[in-house]
Structure 1
Amino acid sequence: MKTELILLRHGETEWNSLGLLQGHRDSPLSTEGLRQADALAARLSTLSFSALYSSDLGRALETARRISTRTGHEVHADARLRERGLGLLEGLTRDEARQRHPDIFGEYSTNAPDYVVPGGESVSQRLNHAVECLGEVGQRHPGERVVVVTHGGVLSSFFRHSLGIPPNTPRAFSVRNACWNQFDYQQGSFVLVTWGDLTHLRATSRDDP
């Protein structure tokens, strides 16, 4: 039996709004990010699902907890769902990273799957953790629907992995905050069903009271 995996990116953070590289460092959800998390929660409150998993980083947990408040599910945190660690690039804008660490940022920008940022990790290392975790979740919940809150980098790598796209292929798709993505897991494989759904955000606006 297949497992339906609803993979969500966390709501916008204050660092997202400033264009800072986050990695394992954290930043609270912005006002817009809280609205996005609540919009996800409202959508999920009308959908039956069996379990709620999340990265253990604060921005994902904050999003998951706002969902939990509406749906009543316990949040199961797992470090394997974390964003890729970016080491000494964390907390910098891309322009700052390019100016202060040109060689490192240049290597990072190629998306080479095995390049380890000093003090951080590679795309492959982080993807392997996520695939292992999501495979276990799929096996644990056959025939069920499960919600997972994770990060943009994880989703981007997982998208490529599932479709067989080389990891260093330039990204020609978006991974928006609070996006809704569905993959079906069956017999050890992941099949993309929905990507980048933002209909829950269009139901409200920044101007709503």
Structure 2
Amino acid sequence: MRGNFVRLQALEEEDYKLFSQWVCPSKVSALARGRQDFATEDEIRKDIVNGSTRYATVVTHDGKKIGFVSWETLKYEGSYMLGGVIGDPELWDMGYGAEASLLLMDYLFHFKNAHKIQFINGLHNMRSVRFLIKNKVTIEGILRDHFFLDGEYHDAVISSILRDEYYGYSEPEDMIPKSEKQKIREELYEYLQGYWKEECFPKLLKQGEKIGR
């Protein structure tokens, strides 16, 4: 998955070390996870390998790994919870995180047949809440005292977007162009029509004649 600023790629061995750095107690972890935890590289690897959450690394077009996005299947296949983080605060507000999230949404709706994508964002996270508002997701409710940070509890907003809503807002890029798909359909239908007239129908007539005798 490739956008104007970043692309998404599968995890590599070196990414576990980056993850442990990005989620250590810091402003990055506070905004991305709503909590402050210490986690070793081995613990991160074990959680990712054994857990139900899938991850992709966010990479700039010059090859720099700057963060990750995640998705987890909820109650039924086709319903997902999204998350993610850009690990370097100096890269915030440059569109990288927003584009990475949109690329992941394109992937889930357009290639994984998702029906619903859901978000849980702390109300202490200004950037993520503004992203939700800007992209016209439906606010489903408030989770009271959902996160504990800086010595106090914080509410979270739970929101979602459905498949038909998403396609009403945007048109994801096809992996195979529509014109190419249409062309091969037309060629196949043309072949089948000729095949029916020249081979199938004459054979059926001959079989009918034999039965009639």
Q: Same fold (TM over 0.5)?
A: no
**TM-score, normalised on structure 2?**
0.31
**TM-score, normalised on structure 1?**
0.31
User: Quick one: higher RCO (CA 8 Å, sep 6+), 1 or 2?
Assistant: 1
Greater strand share, 1 or 2? 2
State which structure, 1 or 2, has the greater radius of gyration over its C-alpha atoms. 2
